[in-house]
Amino acid sequence: MNSFKETKRSALVSLWFMFLTFPVMVMKVDAIEKTVTWRWENMAFIGIGSFILSLFGRAFFERQKSRRQRQIEQNIEKRNLIQIIISHNKYLYPLAIAFFLFALLFPHLFSTYQINVMTTALMYVVLGLGLNIVVGVAGLLDLGFVAFYAVGAYSYALLNLHFGLGFWAVLPIGAILAAMFGVLLGFPVLRLRGDYLAIVTLAFGEIIRLVLENWNEFSQGPSGVSNIPRPGLFGIDLTLDQAITYLYYLMIIMVLVTIFVVNRLQNSRLGRAWVALREDEIACQAMGIDKTKTKLTAFALGATWAGMVGVIFAAKTTFINPASFTFLESAIILAIVVLGGMGSIVGVIIGAFILILLPEYLRALSDYRMLAFGAIMVSMMVFRPQGIISNVRRRYHYDPEKERSE
Amino acid sequence: MSEPILQINNLCMNFGGIKALDDLNLDVEQGEIVALIGPNGAGKTTFFNCVTGIYNPTHGDVMLSPPGKPSIRLNGLKPNHVAEKGMARTFQNIRLFQSMTVLENVMIGRHCRTSAFILGAILRDRATMQEEKQILQKSYEILQKMGLEKHMNELAGNLSYGEQRRLEIARALATEPFLLLLDEPAAGMNPQETQDLEAMINLLQQEGQSILLIEHDMKLVMNLSDRIFVMDYGKQIASGSPQEVRDNPAVIKAYLGDDSYA
């Protein structure tokens, strides 16, 4: 009975697919000769193919469901390999040291091109970790994150152009400016949540980009700012290769600092308040948490990282224009956070590497890149909506006996 | 007799043309358990929301007098400031932070009594660490009092219904309130759980905790309360000791209707 029902469902699915793909797979219109070729055999392939896939899919889901049932019955907590590694220091530390050594040796093992790609990926790690504070931890869906990135990049480009300020002077200025813009965005959206918040932040991102594009006197418009100096190293003249390697190490330090700070923030009084705000705003306020202050700090601290990476981005490419700060950029950063796992630092790092490095190394298949991108996102949402690594709440240990004896 | 710690005068709340609260007067003395009862839709939860700052009352006064401090008018204060002033509440429909652990839920309650901020979080200086340790200790003690310490690292959403209700009380207690507002703490509990809850509230009163309670379980209300206020359609219809309220014809009418009153 059950299997008959399943077969019927699969047949329906295959019918639906045949109908959907009909215009693309069956009809072939030759506009020059004005003929239409009907390729009915394709329809048969699609029908049979989707029928079999759907059957397999159903069987797979059924198996998984029964397995999960068993796990619940036997009271086993489901954790994947990476989570086990993260939660045990004896696995985590050697692995982290190995990664760190590899990262240090990386420029000596690979070509300049590879170093450049890796630097970009590291920049997205920091951007992802910044957005993670806003979206993953505090639960404020921000679709205009790229605006802060642009603020950072343009503050370096313009301060350098007009006042000749160097990279190291602008790095903190860019961070502070971005944080201020974060607060600026935060104020009008204090009352908004979810979809409404997303729309306003999206508009905010577009406003910043359009201003940069159209206010020629201020930002030189679409032609952008060029000849931005690379970061200096105690006044030593660096060759191009050296400068790239230098930037790579700079990014490594930046990533380490970000991980350190974000981790501490998440495990603090403020971090708990962010999570509580995400969970239930009314209860949160009733427990004495200042909603305004907590939301604004989340926006500001998220934006800070984008501002700093923006400065580094301007220094890396030596040329910026508004085209680098489109909505697609925001979408990619958001995808990194969602794919990696909201609120999980390791997840976001892995997500950034997957989403930035994979397209780089799959250039041969670049025609299908967006297709693969979409397929990955859709299947992630279906199979692992919590991301590659779901955030595990911190466990506290408290031993009253020990406390008393101290 | 000393000044009441919570004094509500002529409180009104209008939603458009609807008078949800109409000229309500209520007071709570130090160390008392006061109950607010009334049929469904009488405006009890609206009353709580007005008092705790979630709604801003149309007019009337909500005066709070913390023991040994001058009294404050609470109208228009935000909920977080009300909690800071020393009044904490639970919710009728449980509003826990589901994906945080039980302990973290209570730690959130400590938020308004602590002060570490961005720099403290990043630098983890001695004062911050000391504060964190105190938060942990105090939260654990409260969990112990509510009998939830075994579950401290479980997610709040995984607790049983009765435990979730207790956790809400624990979270409210963590803000060190001198007046605790409980919105139907026994709703959905089985008789055993209700009995445990009664013992727990009694214990809190013995420790000097003043409590304002909304409840439908009449047995619980009659056993616990020092005084009872009854409201219907936003108006106060009776007040007094449990015995007085039980015998009050207006109350019987409100609960049972006209015909049964004979």
Under 8 Å CB-to-CB from A101, ≥6 apart: which residues? none
Q: Per the domain annotation, does A267 fall within a domain? A: yes
| φ and ψ at residue B182, rounded to 5 degrees | -110, 120
CB contact under 8 A, B101 and A283: no
Q: Looking at beta carbons, which residues of chain B come within 8 Å of A289?
A: 80, 108, 111-112
Under 8 Å CB-to-CB from B262, ≥6 apart: which residues? none
Predicted local distance difference test score (pLDDT) of residue A270? 92
CATH number for the domain harbouring residue A279? 1.10.3470
From A46, A74, A102, the end of a domain falls on: A74
Strands B227-232 and B235-240: antiparallel
Q: Per the domain annotation, does A399 fall within a domain? A: no
Residues A290, A375 share a domain: yes
pLDDT tens-place string over residues A262-304: 999 998 999 999 999 999 999 999 999 999 999 999 999 999 9
Q: Per the domain annotation, does A102 fall within a domain? A: no
Number of domains in chain A: 2
Q: Decide: B62 and B28 in contact? Cβ < 8 Å.
A: no
Predicted local distance difference test score (pLDDT) of residue A81? 67
3-state secondary structure of B20: strand
Query: What is the rounded radius of gyration, in angstroms, for the C-alpha atoms of chain A?
Result: 25
Distance CA A104, CA A125 (A): 17
Q: Decide: A157 and A312 in contact? Cβ < 8 Å.
A: no
Residues A317, A179 share a domain: yes
Residues of A with CB under 8 A from a CB of B: 261, 264-265, 268-273, 275-276, 279-280, 282-291, 297, 301, 393-396, 398, 400, 403
Least confident of A6-10, A224-228, A258-262: A6-10
Under 8 Å CB-to-CB from B119, ≥6 apart: which residues? none
Q: Per the domain annotation, does A285 fall within a domain? A: yes
Tens-level pLDDT at each residue, chain B (262 residues):
467 889 998 999 998 888 888 888 899 999 899 999 988 888 888 999 999 988 899 888 898 888 777 888 888 889 999 898 889 999 988 999 998 999 999 999 998 888 888 888 888 888 888 998 999 999 999 999 888 988 888 899 899 888 999 999 999 999 999 899 999 998 888 899 899 999 999 999 999 899 999 988 888 999 999 999 999 888 888 898 998 888 888 888 888 776 554 4
The alpha carbon of residue A291 is apart from the nearest alpha carbon of chain B, in Å, by: 8
Mutation pick from B95, B105, B108 vs chain A, by most beta carbons of A within 10 Å, is B108
Residue B31: how many CB atoms within 10 A of its CB?
Answer: 16
Instruction: Give the mean model confidence (pLDDT) for residues A3-28.
Output: 84
The alpha carbon of residue B154 is apart from the nearest alpha carbon of chain A, in Å, by: 9
What average pLDDT is seen over chain A? 86
Q: Per the domain annotation, does A94 fall within a domain? A: no
Residues A215, A147 share a domain: yes
Q: Decide: B209 and B176 in contact? Cβ < 8 Å.
A: no
Q: Which residues sit opposite B33 in a β-bridge? A: B211
| φ and ψ at residue B125, rounded to 5 degrees | -70, 180
Residues A117, A67 share a domain: no
Which two structure tokens, joined as six digits, stand for A13?
């699915």
Of A79, A117, A122, A80, the closest CA to residue A99 belongs to A122
Of A320, A359, A288, the closest CA to residue A124 belongs to A359
Mutation pick from A259, A269, A293, A393 vs chain B, by most beta carbons of B within 10 Å, is A269
CB contact under 8 A, A289 and B108: yes
Residue A30 has pLDDT above 90, yes or no: no
Predicted local distance difference test score (pLDDT) of residue A77? 55
Of B54, B104, B136, the CB nearest to A398: B136
- Domain that residue A374 falls in: 110-383
| Higher-confidence position of A68 and A298 | A298
Which pLDDT band, with edges at 50, 70 and 90, does A402 fall under?
Answer: low
Predicted local distance difference test score (pLDDT) of residue A243? 87
Residues A67, A114 share a domain: no
Residues A19, A126 share a domain: no
Q: HSE of B178 in the Cβ direction (CA atoms, 13 Å)?
A: 16
Residues A375, A256 share a domain: yes
Which pLDDT band, with edges at 50, 70 and 90, does A406 fall under?
Answer: very low
Q: Decide: A165 and A159 in contact? Cβ < 8 Å.
A: yes
Of B112, B117, B136, the CB nearest to A270: B117
From A48, A74, A100, the end of a domain falls on: A74
Distance CA B47, CA B193 (A): 26
Under 8 Å CB-to-CB from B205, ≥6 apart: which residues? B31, B33, B211, B224
Look up the ipTM and state it.
0.89
Q: In chain A, what percentage of residues exceed pLDDT 90?
A: 39
| Higher-confidence position of B262 and A368 | A368
CB contact under 8 A, A287 and B135: no
Predicted local distance difference test score (pLDDT) of residue B59? 87
Predicted local distance difference test score (pLDDT) of residue A210? 93
Q: For tokens 């959905």, name the residue.
A: B188
| Higher-confidence position of B176 and A2 | B176
Q: Which residue of B has its CA nearest to A265?
A: B121
Q: Per the domain annotation, does A389 fall within a domain? A: no
Residues A124, A69 share a domain: no
Q: Looking at beta carbons, which residues of chain A come within 8 Å of B84?
A: 288
Residues A266, A187 share a domain: yes
Which two structure tokens, joined as six digits, stand for B195?
């009995």
Q: Per the domain annotation, does A400 fall within a domain? A: no
CB contact under 8 A, A395 and B136: no
CB contact under 8 A, A265 and B122: yes
Residues A12, A126 share a domain: no
pLDDT tens-place string over residues A88-108: 777 778 888 888 888 888 888
Q: HSE of B134 in the Cβ direction (CA atoms, 13 Å)?
A: 12
Identity of the amino acid at A50: S
Which pLDDT band, with edges at 50, 70 and 90, does A75 fall under?
Answer: low
Which two structure tokens, joined as six digits, stand for A390?
């779901």
CB contact under 8 A, B121 and A268: yes
Distance CA A19, CA A13 (A): 10
- Return the DSSP state at B156: G
CB contact under 8 A, A282 and B79: yes
The alpha carbon of residue A270 is apart from the nearest alpha carbon of chain B, in Å, by: 6
Distance CA A149, CA A204 (A): 13
Of B80, B113, B153, the CB nearest to A395: B153
From A74, A92, A126, the end of a domain falls on: A74
Longest dimension (CA), chain A: 93
Report how far Cα A183 is from the mean position of its chain's Cα atoms: 21
Q: Per the domain annotation, does A98 fall within a domain? A: no
pLDDT tens-place string over residues A105-137: 888 888 888 899 999 999 999 999 999 999 999
Per residue, what are the HEC states of chain A? Answer: CHHHHHHHHHHHHHHHHHHHHHHHHHEEEECCCCEEEECHHHHHHHHHHHHHHHHHHHHHHHHHHHHHHHHHHCCCCCCCHHHHHHHCHHHHHHHHHHHHHHHHHHHHHCCHHHHHHHHHHHHHHHHHHHHHHHHHHCCCCCCCCHHHHHHHHHHHHHHHHHHCCCHHHHHHHHHHHHHHHHHHHHCCCCCCCHHHHHHHHHHHHHHHHHHHHHCHHHHCHHHCECCCCCCCECCECCCHHHHHHHHHHHHHHHHHHHHHHHHHHHCCHHHHHHHHHHHCHHHHHHCCCCHHHHHHHHHHHHHHHHHHHHHHHHHHHCCECHHHHCHHHHHHHHHHHHHHCCCCHHHHHHHHHHHHHHHHHCHHHHHHHHHHHHHHHHHHHHHCCCCCCCCCCCCCCCCHHHHHHC
Q: Decide: B214 and B121 in contact? Cβ < 8 Å.
A: no
CB contact under 8 A, B137 and A403: yes
Q: Looking at beta carbons, which residues of chain A come within 8 Å of B116?
A: 268-270
Residues A156, A69 share a domain: no
Of A170, A210, A189, A176, the closest CA to residue A322 belongs to A210
Q: Which residue of A has its CA nearest to B171?
A: A287
Strands B72-73 and B59-64: antiparallel
Q: HSE of B13 in the Cβ direction (CA atoms, 13 Å)?
A: 26
Query: What is the rounded radius of gyration, in angstroms, for the C-alpha atoms of chain B?
Result: 19
Residue A380 has pLDDT above 70, yes or no: yes
Residues A141, A9 share a domain: no
Q: HSE of A305 in the Cβ direction (CA atoms, 13 Å)?
A: 30
Predicted local distance difference test score (pLDDT) of residue A79? 59
